[in-house]
């Protein structure tokens, strides 16, 4: 799906199309878009924020760029959302500082050694210790994240970023209870609930785009069957079937807690996706150097990278790097611009909501 550019005069006409856009969104990304919208409406009301286009991710998950916003976003905080343009309707300031656009040097990519590397990563994943999450417990994931976006103030546009900041998320095994603390998203420093039912009183079932621990525990661990399921259930999403399959696997290994056997199968499945490459030198959000498994989205010119430790092959984090120069909403985004970056710093099981491993009873 390509980004649409619209002016205010077109918004009313476009409103009737938003329900269709919502259906076209990758499953499970509505909470993500709520997060993103709430983050931006905390900006100064004279500011227009435009997210660099790229269709990404999931329920209550990371602040990744996306092309379109669901119709439900129109009801949030009086903000207007059309295409990927967010017009602030609320004063105040975000809980995280902004800075210049994030940049990096582009590591060279190669298709050589992709199967071997993913096989090593798969073996490391299979050997990792993954205790079972019991009812009443929570999956806790802490990370450091940052993202780049287009910001317009007083008619002048340029690239800016939410600077690196801590993000913490808790989720019950069945996915119906959760909590998020992310200053780029939350209006309160204490965070906000992710517990279901949602605003409409619905309790959605977990699925590939919005997985719970219980859901992941029941997925097949046969790589071929798993990949076939991913292609089938993400049909029509993203910019291409292969890119969406790669992105979906990336989502499942980033801010989720999958059984070791499933993580292993996911990496074996990724090795079967055309266009996957190795980037021998990549850094995660906190500067840890590693090797990346990556794939270039030909439509957006951005490369998604999963970064692993070169020796242990442990997963470190993800980032999305612009490889080809593009112009988004009149702003040039050069090669080397980091659209999004996240480093996982802790993944654990805790006994209570908002409890951290250090205080786990």
Please, are residues 320 and 43 in contact by the beta-carbon 8 Å criterion?
no
Q: Two tokens at 291?
A: 């090797």
Please, are residues 98 and 151 in contact by the beta-carbon 8 Å criterion?
yes
Residue (of 82, 8, 50) closest to 330 by Cα position: 50
Residue (of 138, 141, 220, 229) closest to 182 by Cα position: 141
Structure confidence at residue 282 (pLDDT): 94
3-state secondary structure of 53: coil
Structure confidence at residue 199 (pLDDT): 72
Label residue 98 left, alpha or beta by phi (over 0 means left) and psi (-120 to 50 means alpha). Answer: beta
Q: Tell me the torsion sign for CA atoms 36, 157, 165, 296.
A: positive
Structure confidence at residue 155 (pLDDT): 86
For each of the chain's 361 residues, which pLDDT tens digit applies? 333 333 333 333 333 333 333 333 333 334 444 444 444 433 333 344 554 433 333 344 454 444 222 323 322 322 222 222 232 322 233 578 889 999 999 989 999 999 999 999 999 999 988 889 999 999 999 999 999 999 888 888 999 999 999 999 999 999 999 999 999 888 888 999 999 887 778 888 899 988 999 999 999 999 999 999 999 999 999 999 999 999 999 999 998 999 999 999 999 999 999 999 999 999 999 999 999 999 999 999 999 999 999 999 999 999 999 999 999 888 999 999 999 999 999 999 999 999 999 877 5
Q: How many CB atoms lie within 10 A of CB 129?
A: 5
Distances (CA, A) of 191 to 12, 176, 188: 33, 17, 5
Strands 315-322 and 326-328: unpaired
Please, are residues 179 and 194 in contact by the beta-carbon 8 Å criterion?
yes
3-state secondary structure of 21: helix
3-state secondary structure of 164: strand
Query: pTM of this prediction?
Result: 0.77
Structure confidence at residue 129 (pLDDT): 83
3-state secondary structure of 297: strand
Please, are residues 94 and 162 in contact by the beta-carbon 8 Å criterion?
yes
Structure confidence at residue 246 (pLDDT): 97
285 half-sphere exposure, CB direction, 13 A CA radius: 26
3-state secondary structure of 225: helix
């Amino acid at each position: 799906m390509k980004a649409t550019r619209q002016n205010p005069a077109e918004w009313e006409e476009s409103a009737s199309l938003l329900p269709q856009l919502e259906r076209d969104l990758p499953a499970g990304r509505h909470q993500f878009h709520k997060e993103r919208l709430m983050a931006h409406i905390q900006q100064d009301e004279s500011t227009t924020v435009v997210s660099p286009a790229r269709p990404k991710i999931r329920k209550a998950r990371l602040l990744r760029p996306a092309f379109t916003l669901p119709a439900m976003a129109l009801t949030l905080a009086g903000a207007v959302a059309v295409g990927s343009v967010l017009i602030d309707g609320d004063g105040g300031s975000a809980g995280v500082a902004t800075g210049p656009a994030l940049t990096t040097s582009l590591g060279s990519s190669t298709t050589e050694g992709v199967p071997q590397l993913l096989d090593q990563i798969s073996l490391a994943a299979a050997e990792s210790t993954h205790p079972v999450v019991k009812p009443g417990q929570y999956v806790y994931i802490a990370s450091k994240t940052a993202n780049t976006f287009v910001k317009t103030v007083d008619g002048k546009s340029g690239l800016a970023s939410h600077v690196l900041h801590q993000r913490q998320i808790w989720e019950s095994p069945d996915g119906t209870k959760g909590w998020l603390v992310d200053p780029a998203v939350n209006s309160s420093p204490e965070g906000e609930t992710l517990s279901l039912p949602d605003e409409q009183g619905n309790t959605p079932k977990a699925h590939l785009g919005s997985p719970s621990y219980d859901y992941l525990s029941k997925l097949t661990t046969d790589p071929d069957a798993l990949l076939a399921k991913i292609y089938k259930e993400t049909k029509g999403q993203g910019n291409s079937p292969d890119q969406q399959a790669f992105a979906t696997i990336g989502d499942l290994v980033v801010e989720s807690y999958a059984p070791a056997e499933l993580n292993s199968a996911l990496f074996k499945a990724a090795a079967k996706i055309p266009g996957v490459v190795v980037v021998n030198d990549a850094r995660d959000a906190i500067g840890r150097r590693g090797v990346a498994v990556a794939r270039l989205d030909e439509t957006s010119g951005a490369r998604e990278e999963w970064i692993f430790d070169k020796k242990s092959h442990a997963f470190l984090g993800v980032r999305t790097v612009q490889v080809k120069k593009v112009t988004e909403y009149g702003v040039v985004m050069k090669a080397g611009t980091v659209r999004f970056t996240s480093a996982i710093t802790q993944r654990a099981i805790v006994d209570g909501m908002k409890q951290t491993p250090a205080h786990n009873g």
